[in-house]
Structures are given as C-alpha cells and as structure tokens.
Chains A and B, each alone.
Chain A
C-alpha cells in the first residue's frame, strides 16, 4: 500500500445537517434503506455540557478491515491507496461483514439481498474529484485526507471520540477534530 486515504471529520464545524448522508444517496441513487454514510449524534452525557454534537461516518477504510478478513467470497479488496472496495458482483449477501464490522458500516440491502457500502467514491477520486460527501459538506466539516503520522501529530486531531469502538480493533482511517463547547447560560 503506497498510502492510506481516509476521512477527517471536524465535530467543531459539523452541525449535523445530514447533507453528506443525502449527497451520498443522491450521487449513487441508493435504495431507500441502506445508509452508506450516516450522521450520529454524540451522547450528551459523554461531554461536560449537554449540546448537540455530531459525527458523520461512512466506511472507515480500515488498515485492518474485518469485513475483508471474514468475507468468504473475497468480495472486498483493498486498493493501493487504502480504499476498501466492495464488489457487489461477488457478494453473496451472507452478511458476515455486517456482523464483523465494529462500526456497522456495511449495509445489507434487503431488496437486492446483498451488502453495499461506501467505496470512498473511488470513481470520483480517480478523476481527481472529491468524494460526494466531502464536496457537499457546507460547513467544511468533512475532508478527504491521507492518514499519516504528521496528520496524527497535528494538534487537535483525534483517533477516536467517546462512545466509538476502540480504534485498535481495525485501525480505521478516520480522524476527528473533537467538538468544542462554548459557554452556556442554562436554565436548569
């Protein structure tokens, strides 16, 4: 692998508008049920003050992808740039990957009876374009990044957030800038 592409999500900028979720669905005209990218609200109690904080997660294109490991028909491959691609032609819909992924990101499509997931818009990347979600993000909270030690050494860049599975399981190619909370004058 010559590099590892991934996502950087900035909860400080993210307002949970879900534009990224729907832009992804719009790009591929995905069926109603699968959500390749999903916006999650972080638990209020995990932070010092309650507020509405979000992360947006698609596939994490892990360095050690469990999906790839458990797939009985080799429907997953990892590209040289680190993107984990799912091939629907090979997929038999056994759903082992949906059980293995700690982040629950492969989506079983009950109509097609196969799994599908975010492929980091590799078709767009190969054309020099940004992934649809990144291009659609209005507050600029989502970025396509190369996971490198220098990125990890930047101040404020986190490997995980409260409530998420340990990054040690699959080494996800996902980085965060954690939510910032301002001062609150509350009535409770």
Chain B
C-alpha cells in the first residue's frame, strides 16, 4: 500500500514520523547517531508494520543490530557519515537538492531558492538561511513532515478544504523537489556506502521514494498559513521573522 492510499491520521502520523526521524538523522550529523538511529529504527518499524513495503524489514534488522552497537562501532559510523555527506574531503553524496537536480552540481542553485520561496509561503525559513543551502535534505524532510502535520491538524478539525490544500502542497513539494532527487541520492549512497548502516539507509530512502504515488498536480495556493507553533523536535525550520 502506498502513502495517501491510506490517508488515515494514523497512516499520516507514521509517514510524518519517518520523515522527521530521517530529517534528524541528517540534521544532527554523524556525531549524534547514538541519538538518531533508534528513533529512525522505530519509525521504520512502524512503516513496515502499517504499509508493509518490500524488503524494508531487512534494513530494519540492520538498524536494530547497529543501534545496539558500542562506542567504537558508532565511531566507524560517524566517520562514514562524514565521508559520505560532509567532508572535509569532497563528500561522496552531498545532501543538497541543487547538487543533484541542477546540472551544474553546485550548492545554492535555482532549486535552493525555489524551496526557500515555498518555505516562505508557509511563513517559514531555514534556520541558517543564507549560510546553509535551504535545500539541505534535513530541511526538506522537515518541511515535508510539516506539511503532513498540517493535514493531520486539518483532519482533526474536519476542515476538508485545508486537508485538500495541504495534500496538494505536499504533492507539489514531493513531485517537484524532495521526491525528484531522493532516489538518485539513495543510489549514490548505495554505491559508495562502506558500512551496513548506510546501505540500510539507502534502502530506507528508496523505500520512502517508492511509497509515494507519482502524481504531479499544480498547487492552487490560498492563504492558509498563520504563524505556526513548531514541534520541539524540529530544528531546521523556524518562523519567518520577515512579514511578506
């Protein structure tokens, strides 16, 4: 079963948790894997339980195994994380949308500014705007989770128009941004990963990709975005101090 085929609040919450735990995985960095690996595992288990995607259980086993690892093993994972995503050597899989979608493979590309505008539409901005690319994977994952949380909110108060709006916005964001590069990024990680956790990560990202229907709908935006109250587990987005 795919996401949105089951648009129950429960399904959406599980979907949202996966996005958030992945976001934290990237946002907190290799140094915080002891904190981020278990929540990722937990959310993957929930996804496996509810949506039963192919092969996810294998990745979950790997995660389960390594989340119990000792300090030394976590160090190996940390070094691998930095080798793949951070530096100081040229990272193998730079986690920024424009590097993958823009043919010039640089950061701060066209896509970076487009997602900045999408965040701003919701009165949000990336916490380190102008210093860090807005299309950092963690930020995009958090934004996707935010959009889902809006759907869940709207469902709770039975505001169908708002539910539809945020479903459309989510589709727009997924189809034109996050969903477009996630699979490429996952493949790159799969090809280069030297540690099983990262091979597992790559499978999880692929799974996330495949669980989305491939629709492309144009967003029909109406002003539905007051100042938000942020969940405490978010860290990449903040209310936009600048009023448009």
Interface residues of chain A, those whose CB is within 8 Å of chain B, are 29-32, 109, 111-112
Q: How far is the CA of A46 from the CA of B105 in the complex (A)?
A: 40
Q: Which residue of A lies closest to B104 (CB)?
A: A31
Tell yes or no: B243 within 8 A of A by CB: no
Which residues 137-164 of B have a CB within 8 angstroms of A? none
Interface residues of chain B, those whose CB is within 8 Å of chain A, are 103-105
Q: How far is the CA of A30 from the CA of B104 in the complex (A)?
A: 7
Q: In the assembled complex, which residues on chain A have CB atoms less than 8 Å from the CB atom of B103?
A: 31, 109, 111-112
**A29-B104, A31-B103, A31-B105 known, 9 other contacts, Cβ within 8 Å:** A30-B104, A31-B104, A32-B104, A32-B105, A109-B103, A111-B103, A111-B104, A111-B105, A112-B103
Q: Which residue of B lies closest to A110 (CB)?
A: B103
Write 12 A-B pairs (CB below 8 A) sorted by A numbering. Answer: A29-B104, A30-B104, A31-B103, A31-B104, A31-B105, A32-B104, A32-B105, A109-B103, A111-B103, A111-B104, A111-B105, A112-B103
Instruction: For residue B104, give the distance in angstroms from its CB to the closest CB of chain A.
Output: 5
Instruction: For residue B185, give the distance in angstroms from its CB to the closest CB of chain A.
Output: 15
Closest 7 CB pairs of A and B: A111-B103, A31-B103, A31-B104, A112-B103, A29-B104, A109-B103, A32-B104
Q: How far is the CA of A32 from the CA of B105 in the complex (A)?
A: 9
Q: In the assembled complex, which residues on chain B have CB atoms less than 8 Å from the CB atom of A32?
A: 104-105
The B interface, classified by DSSP as helix, strand, loop or mixed, is loop
The A interface, classified by DSSP as helix, strand, loop or mixed, is loop
Q: How far is the CA of A41 from the CA of B44 in the complex (A)?
A: 58
Q: How far is the CA of A107 from the CA of B105 in the complex (A)?
A: 18
Q: In the assembled complex, which residues on chain B have CB atoms less than 8 Å from the CB atom of A30?
A: 104
Q: In the assembled complex, which residues on chain B have CB atoms less than 8 Å from the CB atom of A109?
A: 103
Q: How far is the CA of A151 from the CA of B55 in the complex (A)?
A: 71
Q: In the assembled complex, which residues on chain B have CB atoms less than 8 Å from the CB atom of A31?
A: 103-105
Instruction: For residue A92, give the distance in angstroms from its CB to the closest CB of chain B.
Output: 17
Q: Which residue of B lies closest to A33 (CB)?
A: B103
Q: How far is the CA of A80 from the CA of B99 in the complex (A)?
A: 39
Q: Which residue of A lies closest to B109 (CB)?
A: A29
Q: Which residue of A lies closest to B101 (CB)?
A: A111
Q: In the assembled complex, which residues on chain A have CB atoms less than 8 Å from the CB atom of B105?
A: 31-32, 111
Q: Which residue of B lies closest to A34 (CB)?
A: B103
Q: How far is the CA of A112 from the CA of B103 in the complex (A)?
A: 6
Instruction: For residue B181, give the distance in angstroms from its CB to the closest CB of chain A.
Output: 13
Instruction: For residue B113, give the distance in angstroms from its CB to the closest CB of chain A.
Output: 14
Instruction: For residue A72, give the distance in angstroms from its CB to the closest CB of chain B.
Output: 23
Q: Which residue of B lies closest to A30 (CB)?
A: B104
Q: In the assembled complex, which residues on chain A have CB atoms less than 8 Å from the CB atom of B104?
A: 29-32, 111
Q: How far is the CA of A112 from the CA of B104 in the complex (A)?
A: 10
Q: How far is the CA of A55 from the CA of B104 in the complex (A)?
A: 27
Q: How far is the CA of A29 from the CA of B104 in the complex (A)?
A: 8
Q: How far is the CA of A32 from the CA of B106 in the complex (A)?
A: 10
Q: Which residue of A lies closest to B105 (CB)?
A: A32
Q: How far is the CA of A119 from the CA of B105 in the complex (A)?
A: 23
Instruction: For residue A93, give the distance in angstroms from its CB to the closest CB of chain B.
Output: 13
Q: How far is the CA of A111 from the CA of B98 in the complex (A)?
A: 13
Instruction: For residue A22, give the distance in angstroms from its CB to the closest CB of chain B.
Output: 14
Q: How far is the CA of A91 from the CA of B105 in the complex (A)?
A: 22
Instruction: For residue A152, give the distance in angstroms from its CB to the closest CB of chain B.
Output: 40
Q: How far is the CA of A31 from the CA of B103 in the complex (A)?
A: 6
